[in-house]
Amino acid sequence: MGRFEGDYVPGEVLAIPAPGLSLQALKAQVADVEPQEELPGGLVRLKVPVGQEEAKARALLKAGMRYVQPNYIYKPLKVPNDTYYYSAQRIYLNNLVGLEAAWDSSTGRGCPPLVAVLDTGVQKDHPDLAASLWLPRGWELDVADRDGDPSDRDGHGTGVVGVLGAQTDNRQGIAGVTWGGYILPIKVFGDNGDGSSWTVLQGVRLARQLGARIVNLSLCLMIGGECASSDSVPPYDDPALTSEIRQGRAEGIVFVGASGNYNQPVVGYPASLPEVIAVGVVTNSKTRASFSNYGVSLDLVAPGGDPVWMTGLRGSYVSNRGTSFSSPIVAGVVALYMSKYASERKAWPTPDQVYTCLTGNAEDLGASGRDDYYGFGLVRADRVMTDTTYCFP
């Protein structure tokens, strides 16, 4: 007997009779079963009472059927029509992360969580981003230059925002992990390229004030040309920022951060904090990128060892590598999960629920179980959106 789980046509089963068993004799043995049509090879479609599909299947087996199953429901996978998706993005967004199956469950548009991106700003009028941004009036989103304009002069923030939530299925450009998310760009790096403890702290505080549910941190504290870490010896910490992040997580915010691009055996701060989901990088062949920081605080890995496509300045599209772009892939998966969860259950999942959901469904890579090179493994959106053990118990 087939498994009566998932979606199937109500009031129908498919069956193969044993040799010599007539359908008329079958009707006499099992009540309320009506043959509908028969295919060459003996497969027959039967009408049964709605809600009794599995019970009638068991009765049919006892009556002489060789095999009985539900009439399973199939759906086409969502394949976005964006220019670069099929030729350039599908290899990592779908083949590694499983987003086409995940998008069948949610594209993030139903009940979108507000996602704050703390970075170099954003090109607000980019044709693939403008509709994805939330720019609340009367709020200073540039906490670095304080000039009232979070416009991006560097391109890093514009790229991160595009990976996370470019407008999708709009016949242009790239696909975002969320199909046109609800993204709050907060500029914590000035036009001169500098950020500081003060600006990043102010960015986290502003995200809290404006109701962000997810904060992406594609950045790290730099000491001597490399990422400093709270895991190093001696450890580095930025106590005021750490306190702000802890307060945000206690309020229900999910923080996602980049592990760093320096092949260090420690995860860069602030991703190394236990309150932040730390993301490293794998190639399209699911091996750790040689530059990806690793260590005891690493939670997940995502694509970024091979080129990731993103939005660029002046309306362009570019590709790049790095943990800066694996982090928003994970943040986007978090947004998809939170959107579906909130739509169904009318409440946001807690940061602990999100963490357990993502790590419990990661594709184990490297040594069995959690390890310092891959964390719990490769983020898998397809598993996250259908899991009933960790995600939707």
Annotation marks residue 145 as catalytic: no
Bridge partner residues of 250 (DSSP): none
Residue type at position 155: G
Q: What angle do CA 215, 248, 178 make, to 5 degrees?
A: 25
Tell me what percent of the chain is helix, strand and coil, each rounded to the nearest 5: 30, 20, 50
**Which of these is catalytic: 229, 230, 324, 339?**
324
Phi-psi region of 94 (alpha: psi -120 to 50; beta: other; left: phi over 0): alpha
CA-based R_g, the chain, Å: 25
Q: What is the per-residue DSSP string for 82-151? A: -TTIIIIIHHHHTTTT-HHHHHHH--S-SSPPPEEEEES-B-TT-TTTGGGB---TT---BTTT-SS--B
Q: What angle do CA 252, 255, 261 make, to 5 degrees?
A: 175
**Which of these is catalytic: 119, 128, 145, 152?**
119
**Which of these is catalytic: 152, 156, 218, 230?**
156
The single-letter DSSP state of residue 369 is S
Annotation marks residue 142 as catalytic: no
**C-alpha separations of 73 from 15, 66, 70, 103, 189 in Å:** 16, 22, 9, 17, 49
Annotation marks residue 156 as catalytic: yes
Instruction: Say if CB 311 and CB 153 are below 8 A apart.
Output: no
- Please give the Cα distance from 371 to 365 (Å, whole number): 9
Residue type at position 166: A
Instruction: Spell out the residues 6+ positions from residue 48 whose beta carbon is closer than 8 angstroms to its own.
Output: 11, 12, 13, 32, 33, 34, 56
The residues assigned a catalytic role are: 119, 156, 324
